[in-house]
Structure 1
Amino acid sequence: MIERVSSAPKVPYATTLLVRDCCLCLHVQRAARTLARRFDEALRPFNLTNGQFSLMMSLNRPQPAGMASVAALLAVDRTTLTAALKPLERRGLIKVMADPADRRSRLLALTDEGADLLERAVPTWEKTHQEVEAGLPDGDPDRLRKNLIALS
């Protein structure tokens, strides 16, 4: 027999169903986790997660990037970014260096090895991305992108 903790729900069960069916936050989180798993699997042959791929891609620029700009692009705090950088730095894929203009600040850059790995991984990302877009029920990835950007 299942023992109930409280005598009656304080929030009607109909509200639970409404949240389940309508909550944008819940549905975006579920979609994000599903997409993350799909891209993690696709990028596994490169020993990268989707987050690591995105982080490395954010460093794919002509000049080293400041931590604040990368954290803002990836919508993470600096502590989370610092933790995410460590395994990539240990693998020699990125370099973290002092900013010559302000020794307290750090600049981030891809190493040659990191750029090579990114170059090999991009076709897999492109293929997976095309498959995801093709699977959208309304066939309009640009509309979805615009709506997600508006929410972020």
Structure 2
Amino acid sequence: MTRTEADAVGSCNDPTLRKAARYLGATYDKALAPTGLRATQFSILQHLSSRGEITITRLAETIAMDRTTLATNLKPLAREGLATVEPSATDRRARIVTITPDGVARMEAALPHWRAAQARFEDNFGAERAAQLRAVLGDVLDTGFHPWAE
């Protein structure tokens, strides 16, 4: 590997961000394991609980995930009765996602585990730095890229 190639790899934002996301994601997955939820599923249930019914397209935009990956993540939630995915009454092409009462109960049961993981991260990383990290990562979403544009 040439020096230029090594510089490009070492300064690339993508692998560093992915590595940190896998590391932190695994931490939250482990914390949520007793509830039978993965961090991504918990996040989806949280979004659904605060928004009521929502189209798959809108939910995908809200959580910055492509529709296909979201649909894959929704399947086990629907299979377990934690969410429903139904055709829209007004637009048969659209699919509406809704959290079920069992989904609300599972999300609420997972909250203490999530809070413990959150507190552990903030204790180790620093609450102020964690808030700054969330703000900076939020800014990333406003950079103007459209990775899932059709």
Which residue of the other structure, out of 78, 83, 96, is the alignment partner of 2:85? 96
**Percentage of identical aligned residues:** 31
Select the structure with the greater relative contact order (CA < 8 A; seq sep ≥ 6): 2
Could you list the runs of 5+ residues in structure 1 that have no partner in the other structure? 1-8
Which residue of structure 1 aligns with residue 147 of structure 2?
none
SS at match of 1:123: helix
In the alignment, what sits opposite 1:82? 71
- Superposed, 1:2-151 pairs within 5 Å as 9=1, 12=2, 14-61=3-50, 63-136=52-125, 139-151=128-140
Maintained 8 Å contact 2:55/2:96: yes
Deviation at 1:16, TM superposition (A): 4.5
* Structure label with greater radius of gyration: 1
TM (norm. structure 1) is 0.84
Unaligned stretches of 5+ in structure 2? 142-150
Greater helix share, structure number: 2
Q: Count how many residue pairs are aligned between Structure 1 and Structure 2.
A: 141
Q: TM-score, normalised by structure 2?
A: 0.85
Deviation digits for residues 56-85 of structure 1 (CA, Å, limit 9, x no counterpart): 111113531111111012212211111111
Distance in 2 separating the partners of 1:136 and 1:90: 37
Gap change, CA 1:26 and 1:114, over 3 Å in 2: same
